[in-house]
């Protein structure tokens, strides 16, 4: 007991010697108050300023009030922990921590704590030191407190001097990601640049309810007036604040749109474009004008759909017990209701679009939540009833032939609780390695779930992964910050592709996709099989693409069962030799696992007692193959890019026929497998929650004629073995998927 008393007394004496005085606490509180006000004003700049200055000031006041009330409640619960801290300081500290924590969604807990603590420490130290100095408290300080004051001044002043410029710059340059390898003989696609303007003069107009209180283009300036639709069955969490802002509720949703269309005689294919989630008061629909103008010049009617009233609101969400969320089914349904309107205009004499709309060729393009909604709309389009409430009839049956998803979400709405299937429609998805909002390639899941079952040969699905692209720059209004400030200033925007370059990728791929699917006679399909056929049209960065169409005949997709020796093709067999890793699994991502099944193969020549290899044995006569067919498969490097995985992986492909004739080609004949693309999203490396990279599958196609050229004795009709021989890179790890054959209409280049 005597020892404990001594220790307690020593601790109290030490605290008395160093404890801040009244002025120090007052100054620290002032520093925190300034920081709290700055955070609120800065956050509100993007979230609230577009609503007008009155709403901005009221919203900022509301946020401060909410933070104060919440921190007061927490303070009451934690007061016993802060017994030696003045209440005003503790209150401000908790409020500041609460607001600072909002924008750190992709930070690790440790990263968030360190960052928030640093902000609060700098503000407190600088405030305390400055307040003491201003009020003449220096003379009354003990030598110990003077040393602490000097330390606080150094910490606060130095932190502000170093931290503020650091916050205002965009971050460091991206790490090298390798380069695109182009095999000899690869010829560019002999078609016009799909991102080049077409021959049509572009006209524009808007349509809407005619009563929009915030945007005159959908109010009195609307060229065409539309009726509202009842979205109540698809929505929950529509608040009174949302109604007060927009002037309508979920039972009277407007059909608003911006239209770019060709001046000339149609009919023209129809393309609806829809944005994703963003500050609802900062309109997202104008951000696709660069696409609308391009498409209209090339003979499409392009419409950017307004769904801003379904977007988020900091104030609306903060003061709602049930904020609007999981609304992607409503976004999808509303797209189909817009198509209803266009069908009516196409049939109405006197309307500017009378007999000008080709309703047999419709495409949907969506960004972020809009990308998921576009795929859901294509599914809803063919369903007789809403899957979650069969009292709601759907049965639209429009001729939607193409769905394109830019950095889409996935799984925010699952029809009947199941991942959204997509059948018999072409699907394209684009995603950036530096997406700081949808950080993992979610569109790859919808790619996996897209199938072709109706026997039509013209469908296809494709994906493109773009090094250096982020989430927001696909929309001219969203910009380089995928996360609102001040948290957004802690992200590595300096690593991004220039905004114009990122949108150039979107123009090339979306235009080529829609030209291929919605217009007769123009086929850019080789671009989707191999991006290198369009390198002259694309900015200089690294790309990874995957591709599939109804002509694919798979022998191994790694989806059928748990037996690692069985193939998708009946009676086939999978074998391995001298591998360090052989297992079938779900493909990884930056956030957990994807829905796609793959085989994971690893090798290390230094540890092997023979030649590492993986083989697919085919039953005799199972496939009627000719030299015009191609061996297809998809590969992804699965090595950690933070280690030594900086060089491309190469291997040897071997085909063996029934007579034992063997033909070999290096993988690098088409292109060695590039390493995984690493992206340091946060400027503080220790703070990044998600993985630096994710394995992304690259499509390969090897014409069997090339193997015949390598060995004229080889007979493609009698293939019995496909072997992947790991003899060109000493050690590595790959994911392999979708092994099979296809008969492409054209080969991109000779061997």
DSSP string over 524-565: -HHHHH-GGGGGGGS-SS-EEEEEE-TT-EEEE-S-S-S-TT
Task: Supply the pLDDT for residue 143.
Answer: 77
Q: What is the average pLDDT across 206-231?
A: 96
Q: Which stretches of 668-740 are DSSP H helices?
A: 704-710
Q: What is the average pLDDT across 100-113?
A: 72
CB atoms within 10 A of CB 451: 16
Q: What is the average pLDDT across 569-575?
A: 94
Q: What is the average pLDDT across 632-641?
A: 92
CA distance 452 to 458: 10
Map 554-583 to HEC letters.
EEECCCCCCCCCECCCCCCEEEEECCCEEE
Task: Supply the pLDDT for residue 632.
Answer: 97
Q: 600, 450 in Cβ contact below 8 A? A: no
DSSP letter string over 427-476? EEEEEETT-SSS-S-THHHHHHTEE--S--SS--EEEEEETT--SGGGST
Average pLDDT, the chain: 87
Q: What is the average pLDDT across 426-448?
A: 96
Task: Supply the pLDDT for residue 1.
Answer: 47
CA distance 79 to 688: 32
Task: Supply the pLDDT for residue 135.
Answer: 73
CA distance 395 to 402: 18
Q: What is the average pLDDT across 406-425?
A: 96
CA distance 528 to 546: 8
Q: Of 301 and 141, which is predicted with more confidence? A: 301
CA distance 52 to 58: 10
Q: 476, 503 in Cβ contact below 8 A? A: yes
pLDDT band of residue 89 (cuts 50, 70, 90) is confident
Q: How far is CA 610 from CA 250, 564, 726, in A?
A: 67, 21, 11
Kindly state the tokens that stand for 188.
Answer: 């560019």
pTM of the model: 0.87
Q: Of 335 and 745, which is predicted with more confidence? A: 335
Q: Report which secondary-structure segment, H or E, holds 258.
A: strand 257-262
Least confident range from 122-136, 188-202, 443-457, 579-593: namely 122-136
CA distance 389 to 402: 27
Q: 100, 39 in Cβ contact below 8 A? A: yes
Q: CA torsion sign, 431 to 433 to 439 to 444?
A: positive
Residue entry with tokens 């609306």? 316
CA distance 599 to 605: 20
Report DSSP state, residue 186: P
Q: What is the average pLDDT across 346-352?
A: 96
Task: Supply the pLDDT for residue 674.
Answer: 86
Q: Of 402 and 483, which is predicted with more confidence? A: 402
Residue entry with tokens 């370059």? 501
Please tell us whether the domain made up of 553-742 is placed in CATH 1.10.10.10.
no
CA distance 411 to 369: 10
Task: Supply the pLDDT for residue 749.
Answer: 46
Question: Where do the DSSP E strands lie in 343-445?
Answer: 357-367, 385-386, 389-393, 400-406, 422-423, 426-432
Least confident range from 134-138, 195-199, 460-464, 525-529: namely 134-138
CA distance 552 to 460: 10
pLDDT tens-digit series, residues 441-450: 999 999 999 9
pLDDT tens-digit series, residues 670-704: 999 988 998 888 887 777 888 889 999 999 999 99
For residue 46, pLDDT beyond 70: no
Q: Could you give the percent of the chain with pLDDT greater than 70?
A: 85
Q: Of 113 and 694, which is predicted with more confidence? A: 694
Q: 528, 745 in Cβ contact below 8 A? A: no
Give start-end residues of each CATH 2.60.120.430 domain in the chain.
553-742
pLDDT tens-digit series, residues 129-177: 777 777 766 667 777 777 776 777 777 777 778 777 767 776 666 655 5
Q: What is the average pLDDT across 355-367?
A: 98
202-208/257-262 β-pairing: antiparallel
Q: Report which secondary-structure segment, H or E, holds 653.
A: strand 652-657
Task: Supply the pLDDT for residue 740.
Answer: 96
CA distance 702 to 350: 55
Q: Which residues contact 412 (CB under 8 A, 6 or more apart)?
A: 326, 328, 369, 372
Given the candidates 3.60.21.10, 3.40.640.10, 3.40.50.1820, 3.20.20.10, the CATH classification of the domain at 264-301+340-548 is 3.40.50.1820
Give start-end residues of each CATH 3.40.50.1820 domain in the chain.
264-301+340-548
Task: Supply the pLDDT for residue 751.
Answer: 47
pLDDT tens-digit series, residues 530-553: 999 999 999 999 999 999 999 999
Q: What is the average pLDDT across 354-366?
A: 98
Least confident range from 306-315, 335-344, 441-450, 719-728: namely 306-315
SS3 category, 604? strand
Q: Could you give the percent of the chain with pLDDT greater than 90?
A: 60
Task: Supply the pLDDT for residue 431.
Answer: 98
């Amino acid at each position: 007991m005597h020892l404990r008393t001594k220790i307690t007394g020593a601790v109290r004496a030490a605290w008395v010697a160093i404890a801040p005085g009244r002025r120090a606490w007052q100054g620290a509180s002032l520093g925190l108050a300034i920081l709290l006000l700055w955070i609120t004003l800065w956050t509100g700049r993007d979230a609230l300023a577009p609503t007008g200055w009155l709403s901005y000031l009221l919203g900022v006041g509301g946020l401060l009030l909410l933070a104060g009330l919440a921190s007061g409640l927490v303070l009451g619960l934690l007061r016993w922990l802060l017994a030696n801290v003045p209440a005003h300081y503790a209150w401000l500290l908790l409020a500041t921590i609460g607001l600072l924590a909002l924008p750190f969604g992709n930070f690790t807990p440790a990263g968030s704590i360190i960052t928030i603590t640093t902000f609060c420490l700098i503000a407190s130290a600088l405030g305390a030191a400055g307040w003491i100095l201003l009020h003449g408290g220096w003379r009354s300080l003990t030598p110990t407190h003077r040393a602490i004051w000097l330390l606080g001044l150094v910490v606060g002043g130095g932190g502000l001097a170093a931290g503020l410029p650091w916050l205002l710059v965009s971050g460091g340059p991206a790490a090298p990601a390798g380069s695109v390898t182009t095999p000899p003989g690869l010829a560019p696609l002999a078609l016009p640049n799909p991102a080049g303007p077409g021959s049509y003069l572009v006209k524009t107009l808007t349509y809407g309810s005619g009563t929009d209180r915030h945007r005159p283009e959908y109010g009195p300036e609307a060229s065409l007036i539309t009726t509202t639709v009842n979205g109540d069955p698809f929505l929950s969490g529509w608040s009174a604040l949302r109604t007060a802002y927009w002037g309508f509720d979920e039972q009277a949703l407007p059909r608003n749109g911006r239209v770019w269309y060709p001046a000339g005689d149609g009919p023209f294919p129809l393309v609806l474009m829809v944005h994703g989630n963003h500050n609802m008061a900062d309109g997202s629909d104008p951000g696709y004008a660069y696409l609308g103008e391009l498409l209209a010049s090339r003979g499409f009617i392009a419409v950017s759909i307004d769904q801003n009233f379904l977007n988020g609101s900091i104030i609306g969400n903060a003061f709602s017990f049930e904020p609007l969320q999981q609304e992607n089914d409503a976004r999808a349904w509303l797209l189909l209701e817009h198509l209803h309107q266009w069908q009516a205009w196409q049939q109405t004499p006197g309307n500017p679009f009378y007999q000008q709309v080709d309703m047999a060729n419709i495409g949907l393009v969506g960004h972020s939540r809009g990308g998921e909604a576009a795929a859901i709309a294509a599914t809803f389009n063919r369903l007789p009833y809403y899957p979650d409430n069969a009292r709601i009839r759907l049965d639209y049956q429009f001729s939607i032939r193409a769905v394109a998803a830019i950095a889409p979400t996935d799984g925010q709405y699952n029809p009947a609780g199941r991942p959204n299937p997509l059948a018999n429609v072409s699907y394209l998805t684009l995603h950036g390695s530096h997406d700081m909002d949808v950080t993992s390639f979610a569109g790859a899941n919808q790619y996996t779930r897209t199938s072709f079952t109706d026997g039509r040969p013209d469908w296809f699905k494709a994906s493109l992964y773009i090094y250096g692209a982020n989430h927001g720059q696909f929309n001219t209004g969203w910009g380089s910050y995928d996360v609102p400030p001040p948290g957004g200033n802690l992200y590595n925007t300096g690593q991004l592709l220039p905004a114009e370059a990122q949108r150039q990728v979107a123009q090339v791929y979306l235009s080529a996709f829609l030209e291929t699917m919605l217009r007769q006679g123009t086929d850019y399909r080789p671009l989707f099989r191999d991006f290198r056929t369009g390198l002259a049209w694309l900015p200089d960065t690294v790309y990874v693409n995957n591709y599939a169409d109804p002509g694919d005949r798979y022998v191994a997709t790694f989806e059928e069962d748990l037996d690692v020796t069985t193939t998708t093709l009946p009676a086939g067999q999978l074998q391995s030799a001298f591998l360090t890793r052989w297992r079938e699994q779900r493909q990884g991502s930056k956030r957990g696992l994807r829905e796609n099944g793959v085989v994971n193969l690893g090798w290390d020549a230094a540890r092997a007692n023979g030649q590492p290899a993986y083989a697919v044995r085919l039953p005799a006569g199972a496939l009627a193959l000719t030299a015009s067919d191609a061996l297809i498969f998809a590969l992804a490097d699965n090595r950690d890019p933070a280690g030594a995985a900086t060089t491309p992986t190469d291997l040897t492909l071997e085909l063996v026929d029934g007579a034992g004739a063997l033909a070999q080609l290096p993988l690098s004949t088409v292109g060695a497998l590039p390493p995984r693309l690493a992206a340091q999203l946060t400027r503080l490396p220790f703070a990044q929650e998600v993985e630096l990279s994710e394995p992304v599958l690259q499509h390969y196609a090897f014409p069997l004629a090339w193997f015949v050229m390598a060995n004229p004795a080889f007979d493609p009709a009698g293939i019995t073995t496909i072997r992947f021989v790991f003899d060109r890179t000493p050690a590595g790890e790959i994911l392999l998927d979708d092994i099979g054959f296809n008969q492409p209409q054209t080969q991109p280049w000779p061997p």
